[in-house]
Amino acid sequence: TRSIADIMRDRDRLLGPGVSTFYDDPVHIVRGEGVWLWDAEGRKYLDCYNNVPVVGHCNPRVVEAICRQAGTLNTHTRYLHEGILDYVDKLTGTMDASLEAAAMTCTGSEANDIALRMAEGMTGKRGIVATDATYHGNTALVSQLGRSNPPSVGFGLGQYFRFVEAPDSYRRPDPDGQTFAAAVETEIAAHEAEGHGFAALVICPYFLNEGFPQNADGWLKPVAEVVRRAGGLLICDEVQSGFGRTGTHMWAHQKMGVVPDIVTMGKPMGNGHPVGGVVTRAEILGTFRRGYRYFNTFGGNPVSCAAAMAVLKEIEDKDLVAHAGRVGEHARQRLFALLDKYEVIGDVRGSGLIFGAEMVLDREDKTPATEFTDRVINAMRHRGIIHSKLGRHKNTLKIRPPLPFSIENADLLFDTLDEVLAETSVHA
Ligand code: PMP
């Protein structure tokens, strides 16, 4: 086994410099089981970060399904195979009846890229509206969604994108979603004025990359009405928020009270096996397939479908959505107790097994405690708990464990966080 220093050197040499390591003192993980990870020295970590192994690291049912299918047949998707039909049938069964067909992909980026092209095909327009601090993927097209890349790169495709400020329930409350809807309406009008027309609004319905503001259930209804009135499509990117994460519904758009025209997904879908998808109405998929030559060699291959089917069955059989809701509620209570105890916690938020707290230097002016948040994350890692941070100011603890996370796991997390908050000084 290479030392950490050797791994870091070889990463720079072989993968190019600047690949993020997550920690000042990186962890070399070699094994996972359930909610636990082990490093090369045999140290055990509680994984509170990872939404990919949604039904637990190396879930036996998923491992068995992958091995069985890999030992029977795996090939590209031109051959007829029933696994993809069984899977899409089961997947679409978790959504509104209008969302009845799917294109299978290998990643979330690809799913979003295809969704935008579907919107172009369906509406004949190109103008897209998105939130400004989001992430929707890495293709030339979707890497332009969000302001982190200048519009001049990515073949200049950014000219078709306009941005609204992401909601922020802590600093700019918008309880009924009307302010957000009005901002989207303004950008739609700007697209019309520029001659692009309006094709779609693309959003994560729980705004996970943006710090998951605490909006009421049903919050997206006003913006969905604006989108429909303007003749565009509503694309919900459920790459992070889907598969029961919020603990109330299988999909966050259901919690937010809307039926999208297109839903994209990835990350947890195969529990780590690469698989993604775009679920939509048959009419939209039909229009897309007539207008574009679309083929995907690996998307929906037999092994991907076997893995993804095992994930859905595991969520269903173990009632993991309700479980996420119960454990998430306990976690929120523990976070509120820490809010009472530590001034540095400005706000607590979350639903199900996505929860966190925003760290501030001052509760009055809400100055982000960004460096403090980094110190907390590193101290937690040294006590064997892995989690991350996110949000516009990178000062919100992001806790997003595999769904089998238990009350006991949550107690270990919060007992440790309590110790770390007591020991870490707010000013370095
Ligand atoms: N959408 C969202 C909301 C994401 O968080 C991500 C990945 N972080 C993607 C899309 C892209 O998915 P992938 O990395 O599988 O291409």
208 plus 123 within the same structural domain: yes
Nearest-CA neighbor of 110 among 282, 311, 290, 299? Answer: 299
Residue, of 153 and 32, whose pLDDT is higher = 32
**Which residue, judged by its Cα, is nearest atom 12 of ligand 1?**
108
Query: 3-state class of 356 per DSSP?
Result: strand
Work out the average pLDDT over 330-355.
96
Query: For residue range 287-299, what is the model confidence (pLDDT) as tens digits?
Result: 999 998 888 999 9
Residues 175 and 192 in one domain: yes
Which residue, judged by its Cα, is nearest atom 2 of ligand 1? 136
* Structural domain contains residue 428: no
The pLDDT of residue 77: 83
- 267 Cβ neighbours under 8 A, 6+ residues apart: 51, 52, 108, 239, 240
Range 155-187 burial, b when 16+ CB lie within 10 A, else e = eebbebbbbbebbbbbeeebeebebbbebbbeb
For residues 59-87, give the mean pLDDT.
94
Q: Which of 317, 343, 375 is the last residue of a domain?
A: 317
Mean pLDDT of 391-404: 93
Range with the lowest mean pLDDT among 8-12, 91-95, 194-198? 8-12
Yes or no: say if 51 and 403 are a contact pair by the CB < 8 Å rule: no
Residue 298, domain CATH: 3.40.640.10
Whether 212 is in the pocket of ligand 1, judged by its Cβ within 6 Å, is no
pLDDT of residue 153: 83
Task: Check whether residue 293 and residue 367 sit in a common domain.
Answer: no
Type of residue at 412: L
| ipTM (interface pTM) | 0.99
* Closest alpha carbon to 200 in 222, 228, 225: 228
- Measured CA to CA, the distance from residue 130 to residue 201 in angstroms comes to 6
Here the CATH number for the domain that contains residue 366 is 3.90.1150.10
Same domain, 79 and 142: yes
pLDDT of residue 187 exceeding 80? yes
Q: How far apart are CA 300 and CA 33, in angstroms?
A: 26
Q: Which of 105, 143, 235, 239 to mutate to test the pocket of ligand 1 (most atoms within 8 A of CB)?
A: 239
State whether 220 and 255 are in the same domain.
Answer: yes
- As a whole number, mean pLDDT of residues 229-251 equals 98
Question: From the CB of 51, is ligand 1 less than 6 Å away?
Answer: no
**203: in domain:** yes
142 and 195 share one domain: yes
Q: Is the CB of 207 under 6 A from ligand 1?
A: no
Task: Specify whether 32 is located in the same domain as 49.
Answer: yes
Residues 221, 82 within the same domain: yes
Q: How many domains does the chain have?
A: 2
Q: Please give the distance, rounded to the nearest whole angstrom, from the Cα atom of residue 72 to the centre of ligand 1.
A: 30
- 75 occurs within a structural domain: yes
Does one domain contain both 267 and 359? no
Kindly report, residue by residue over 347-358, the tens digit of the pLDDT. Answer: 999 999 999 999
- Judged against a pLDDT cut of 80, whether residue 23 lies above it is answered with no
Q: Which numbered atom of ligand 1 lies nearest the CA of 274? A: 15
| pLDDT at residue 101, rounded to an integer | 98
What's the whole-number mean pLDDT along residues 394-402? 94
**Cβ of residue 206 lying under 6 Å from some atom of ligand 1:** no
159 with 242, same domain: the answer is yes
**Mean pLDDT, to the nearest integer, of 69-86?**
92
CB 321 within 8 A of CB 334: no
- Tell me if residue 340 falls in helix, strand or coil: helix
What 3-state DSSP class applies to 29? Answer: strand
Q: Is there a single domain that holds both residue 330 and residue 187?
A: no
Q: What is the pLDDT of residues 123-159, one digit of tens each?
A: 999 999 999 989 999 999 999 998 778 878 888 888 9
Closest residue to atom 13 of ligand 1, CA basis: 108
Structural tokens at position 19: 């690949």
Beta bridge partners of 356: 349
**124 and 15 within one domain:** no
pLDDT > 70: what percent of the chain? Answer: 100
- Picking from 266, 298, 317, the residue at the C-terminal end of a domain is 317
| Per-residue pLDDT at 156 | 85
Q: What is the distance between the terminal CA atoms of the chain, rounded to a whole angstrom?
A: 36
pLDDT at 22 over 80: no
Q: Residue 149: CB partners within 8 Å, gap ≥ 6?
A: 143, 158
* pTM for the predicted model, two decimal places: 0.97
CB neighbours of 369 closer than 8 A, spacing ≥ 6?
Answer: 344, 359, 360, 361, 395, 426
In this predicted structure, what is the pLDDT of residue 391? 83
- Domain residues for the domain of 107 are 60-317
In a domain, 381, yes or no: yes
For residue 259, how many C-alpha atoms fall within 13 Å in the half-sphere facing its CB? 10
CA-CA-CA-CA dihedral for 404, 406, 410, 412, to nearest 10 = -110
Average pLDDT score over the chain: 95
Residues 400, 51 contacting (CB under 8 angstroms): yes
CA of 96 to the centre of ligand 1 (A): 23
Contact between residue 258 and residue 225 where contact means Cβ atoms under 8 Å apart: no
Q: Is residue 47 part of a domain?
A: yes
Edge-to-edge strand ranges of the sheet holding 354-359:
345-351, 354-359, 396-398, 388-390
Q: 338 CA distance to ligand 1 centroid (A)?
A: 31
Q: Is the CB of 273 under 6 A from ligand 1?
A: no
Of 317, 339, 369, the position where a domain reaches its end is 317
